[in-house]
Structure 1
Amino acid sequence: MSLSNFVKRIRDIMRNDAGINGDAQRIEQIAWMLFLKVYDSKEQDWEMDEDDYQSIIPEECRWSSWAVDDKSGKAMTGNTLLNFVNNTLFPTLKGLNVTPDTPIKKSIVKTTFEDANNYMKDGVLLRQIINVIDELDFSDYEESHAFGEIYESILRELQSAGSAGEFYTPRAVTEFMAKMIQPKIGEKMADFACGTGGFITSWLKELAPLIQNTDDQADYDNSIYGIEKKQFPYILCITNMLLHGLDVPKIYHDNSLLRNVLDYTEDDQFDVILMNPPYGGSEKAAVKNHFPSDLASSETADLFMSVIMYRLKKNGRAAVILPDGFMFGTDNAKVAIKKKLLSEFNLHTIIRLPGSVFSPYTPITTNILFFDRTKPTTETWYYRLDKPEGYKHFSKTKPMKLEHFAPVVEWWDNRQELSVDGFDKAKKYTVQQLSEGLGYNLDQCGYPHEEEEVLNPMDLILRYEEQRASLNAEIDRVLADITAILGGTKRLPYTDRYEQAWSKLEDINKRFPTDMQKSILQLAIQGKLVEQRPEEGTADELLPLCRDDKARSIKEGKYKKEAFRGAITNNDYIPFEIPDSWNWMFISDMSLFQEGPGIMAVDFRITGVPLIRIAGMQTDIVSLEGCNYLDEDMVVSKWSHFRLDLGDIVISSSASMDKIAEVNEECVGSIPYTGLIRFKMYGGIDKNYFKWFIKSPCYMKQVNEQKAGGTIKHYGPSHLKKMVIPIPPLAEQQRIVAKLEEIMPLVRN
């Protein structure tokens, strides 16, 4: 079959099913069907290799029995198929008899289906999906290998479907970490939050060339161990392992944080640990009881870091991705974790990663910590990996590649301190500098010119809580020092430290509401604030309305002749992924806009047509405050096409660029002065959605890239013509506006 459009074919069919709501359900629907198809192929191999092989799946529920369409006309479809899947297949597989003696390769069927769901409601469409999947021929080595790449594309789609703290680790990152950890035959590696199995497959890829005989092959097959808490990624991981030829994938559906770390023995430890722990996830309060009190953090990534330290073998090696919050955090639990890391492990290398490595699905900035259990840390090398030349940021269309790690690989075995433009790029710190000098703040060798980081709301709240906890802990430590001084047992210079911590705490409290507003707006224009509803249609339906209104504006002389460009498909213009039912459009294709004319003071009059100035833009309604006046006849002859209409949106494009106001009855017929731009929406565009978009980080980023000028920066229509906006269906625009109007007052207050 043609694998290149496999995902697209399935997506196009599912789009017509009323039961599928969003990417997460679509991928979950694909997941359980793919698992059964792949498992059926494996069972055919096992039947040939084992004389007495017995499937755990009853015959009528095996893929080859109910899913394969032999073109005889007997294949189930429609309501018959739906009834079988919902009332026979799922209950049977969920209720399989599994005991502790059941082999893993059989028990995984029940585990896989424990929380799986069939969301499709149209049995005919379900039959079409099954037929597409059944075209896959896993007995053909080349096709099976090629499908591994297709499967990677399915896993990548998890990024946009996942929730906070859960996202696909780019393959370039997992392969780099596996390469630098240098696997050896006979070693066992673990990932205690393995997701879809990215680190495991990269480990296997790096280990495979070392196989020389059957013993090596057996060691290879038994070299991995994974745990995944969430059902959905677990299904995908098991399927991934089967596709990679592992007949007995030691992947368990469990929560790594539910066992007391003090209970681990040498039998529970591993030679290598490769991980990207969840960040910002929440666990029940009781989970903290599984950790020593000083390590009992409320942050999931911190808890996983403790698990890793307790489960790494003596002389073992680890490479772990951790967020910046772990690096700069100095709350009591983080300090205790870092103390343990530096005193019991050799933290030899920290790689600072660019903020857009996981873009566009999370802007969380991350780091790779390489350490081993050979000795306490004496020194730690930092290396800041900069984006390659020609990359403003990584994205889905321009993802990070393994080759982008080449500078690190070249530096790795020939380490030297480096600086670029006066900023440290690679630097060595002694353990005394990191502990005593920096108070366990590992946030060193950072990026000198970072773009503004717009986190999603949950990640923003997590960062705020981490920063607040760190500063409160610092204040507590200072107060303890003061107490000691008053008691006459200790004398430390505490005043500066106290004022600095208190000042930073005030700063993050003051900044948090603004950061949260940006975060929510970004979520809204990414299509993640409200759900998509198939019955509301798509943004394609708005294109003719916008096209016709633009043509009318040109015909009436309000706009210079310019082609209507429609939905944007060129990835160079697309900042991030949006839902399938949305379109990216140029702002000039969805609204008429004009900057007010430059009028000399000599033309001002005592009365006449109001000339709106920036002073009239101080609220969300345009006013006559501070306006000048123009001669009526002069306006008619020279500037009549600039007159404002009721409901127009006016923005400031010079100096105070955050001013947005709507025209009411009082200002109808007035003229905006230069530096003010009026917008009139074309058909199908909600003006309030546009007003919120103008306040978003996406719009302001484009403004900052386009604006010109010396002391006073400005932008105008020529810049706006290059700017883009994500457009949902009209009904969804209105639901986004309603949700924002509900949420934003809470954030402001």
Structure 2
Amino acid sequence: MLQNNSVLKSKIDQLWNKFWSGGISNPLTAIEQITYLLFMKRLDDLDLKRISDAEFTGEEYTSKFAGEFTLPGTDQKVDKQTLRWSNFRRMSAEDMLNHVQLRVFPFLKMLNGEESPFTHYMKSAVFIIPKPSLLVEAISTIEEIYAEIEKDADEGGQAFQDIQGDVYEMLLSEIASAGKNGQFRTPRHIIKLIAELVEPQLGHRIADPACGTGGFLLGAYQYMVTQLDKNKKNIQPDEDGFIRNSVSSLLTNEVSGILNDSLFGYDIDVTMVRLGLMNLMMHGVDTPHIDYKDTLSKSFTESNQYQIIMANPPFTGSIDKGDINESLKLGTTKTELLFIENIYNLLKMGGTAGVIVPQGVLFGGGKAFIEARKILVEECQLKAVITMPSGVFKPYAGVSTAILIFTKGGETEDVWFYDMKSDGYSLDDRRTKLDGYGDLQDIVTQYKMRDRNKDSDRKQKYFFVPKVEIVAGFYDLSISKYKEDVFEEVVYEKPVVILTRLKTMESEIDKELNELEGLLG
């Protein structure tokens, strides 16, 4: 969507530039402060909409701005109505900054009650916009961004929440520190692809043990919401060919409650936890369960908890050997291997995972690499290995990756491989949207129609490999080991024909040189 809306993209760039020139040059700090403002705006808009909807439907709804708010550490009470974006945005610059710093932000931090994960991880959050002028300019630009979102939603038919999500995801993509410690933001179209393959259902417990800003949890949420309306004919595919929505006429309070209790995320960066919480809340998940935890450490004791896991764990780096969870038996400190075993442990029997790994995991010859792959093949039903081109994670990294789809406790008879050549975007640092969907929709179609009796031609993009062959090859899962190269026969002209052509060309060159010599006298 953003690729087609230069006005919206320009306004987002303006917002970044205002923060940069206003003295907040660290991209991660800037995105956190911008997120707080977006969250204040969205909180007001959603609350007013829910009040209106409740009046229309007759359902009960208690406004988040009803009553008074006692400022922490004081006896002073303020009318919550004054904390609405629509109210404080009309204040003078000095009064607005003072009001947001001392009243609105403390209210925001306590939004879901003292015992909620959101409040817990917002305790250390600080509102650090230093200048009244920067706050006024930022609020004005955000208002313009939201006006453009509404216009785009009206003209393009896309849900407002989805466009807002695109905007927020674009802001998140600007975090310059992405890629640190092997943490790369997963492109949204790859998240949608994995959700389509693992098919999370209403009532499933769904987790991401290294969730970052919550992209996979949001992808699962949107997939499930879309399924509520899947029989409607007026939902159009997005730019990647997927049908997605964040809102539904069937999203009742009861269904929303089930969805709220379905999504669980963990991360070792408190800032990412806060961003993830707000990301989900801005998309309608009122009480997301995202916690600050290292799921590889001894302090994390969960197992056999989830029906679905979607994850893109850190690709590189290692963990302190003394802090590795004792349930992890691979005997390595490499996080990309430990997460495979950890995800296996977290899945319930019969649970399914869609996990992104560096392609080195598929063929590494070390003992821990082989043992990790053995878990996938011997203790799971390894359903698919989908290799992706190296540009998918640019501009953060050029590492080649693959998607693993596996079900805990099933039996692997053979493994379906797919060699993705294009994800619908250019594979350079710009990642420009190309015409069509690349291989995305073909992967979904072929995966759901896969047939071991038909998908046997290893010269094609996709094919099955029997387990016995994989085991014999030390559980090697690299597609290059099994795919047969296609060599096209090149027919050359006979030497006598080539020689005749060369003589003709030489004669023509001599003629041209003689004419040139004559002209020069």
Change (3 A) 1:135 1:390: closer
Aligned to 1:492: none
Q: Is 1:76 the counterpart of 2:94 in the alignment? A: yes
Q: What does 1:76-475 align with in structure 2 at a 5 Å threshold?
A: 76=94, 81=97, 85=101, 88=102, 92=106, 102=114, 104=116, 107-116=117-126, 118=128, 120-133=129-142, 143-158=160-175, 161-211=178-228, 214=252, 215-259=254-298, 263-266=301-304, 269-292=305-328, 294-387=329-422, 393=428, 395-398=430-433, 403-412=438-447, 413-415=449-451, 416-420=455-459, 425-435=461-471, 437-445=472-480
- Quick check: 1:328–1:442 contact (8 Å CA) kept in 2? yes
Change (3 A) 1:160 1:382: same
Say what the alpha-carbon RMSD is for the aligned residues. Answer: 3.9
Q: Is 1:12 the counterpart of 2:17 in the alignment? A: yes
- Quick check: 2:386–2:419 contact (8 Å CA) kept in 1? yes
SS of alignment partner, residue 21 of structure 1: coil
Aligned residues: 430
> How many angstroms apart in 1 are the aligned matches of 2:69 and 2:265?
23
| Residues 56-79 of structure 1 deviation map (CA, whole Å, 9 limit, x = unaligned) | 7746697953966768664426xx
SS of alignment partner, residue 174 of structure 1: helix
- Quick check: 2:178–2:185 contact (8 Å CA) kept in 1? no
> How many angstroms apart in 1 are the aligned matches of 2:79 and 2:332?
45
SS of alignment partner, residue 158 of structure 1: coil
Task: Report how far residue 440 of structure 1 moved.
Answer: 2.9
**One-letter amino acid of the counterpart of residue 315, structure 1:** G
SS of alignment partner, residue 315 of structure 2: coil
Change (3 A) 1:318 1:419: same
Q: Is 1:50 the counterpart of 2:86 in the alignment? A: no
Task: Report how far residue 33 of structure 1 moved.
Answer: 2.7
**One-letter amino acid of the counterpart of residue 114, structure 1:** S
- Quick check: 1:185–1:207 contact (8 Å CA) kept in 2? yes
Task: Report how far residue 307 of structure 1 moved.
Answer: 1.6
TM-score between both structures, scaled by the size of structure 2: 0.70
> How many angstroms apart in 2 are the aligned matches of 1:315 and 1:386?
31
> How many angstroms apart in 2 are the aligned matches of 1:63 and 1:161?
38
Task: Report how far residue 130 of structure 1 moved.
Answer: 3.3
> How many angstroms apart in 2 are the aligned matches of 1:194 and 1:71?
33
Change (3 A) 1:55 1:301: farther
> How many angstroms apart in 2 are the aligned matches of 1:272 and 1:259?
23
**One-letter amino acid of the counterpart of residue 186, structure 2:** T
- Quick check: 1:193–1:226 contact (8 Å CA) kept in 2? yes
Change (3 A) 1:146 1:419: same
> How many angstroms apart in 2 are the aligned matches of 1:35 and 1:355?
35
- Quick check: 2:37–2:139 contact (8 Å CA) kept in 1? yes
- Quick check: 1:66–1:76 contact (8 Å CA) kept in 2? no
TM-score between both structures, scaled by the size of structure 1: 0.51
Change (3 A) 1:255 1:61: farther
Structure with greater Cα Rg? 1
> How many angstroms apart in 2 are the aligned matches of 1:302 and 1:427?
26
- Quick check: 1:273–1:319 contact (8 Å CA) kept in 2? yes
Task: Report how far residue 9 of structure 1 moved.
Answer: 2.5
Aligned to 1:627: none
Aligned to 1:28: 32
Task: Report how far residue 431 of structure 1 moved.
Answer: 2.8
Greater mean deviation of Cα atoms: 426-435 or 5-14:
426-435
Aligned to 1:489: none
> How many angstroms apart in 1 are the aligned matches of 2:225 and 2:424?
33
Task: Report how far residue 418 of structure 1 moved.
Answer: 3.6
Task: Report how far residue 129 of structure 1 moved.
Answer: 1.4
SS of alignment partner, residue 346 of structure 1: strand
- Quick check: 1:260–1:290 contact (8 Å CA) kept in 2? no
Task: Report how far residue 357 of structure 1 moved.
Answer: 0.9
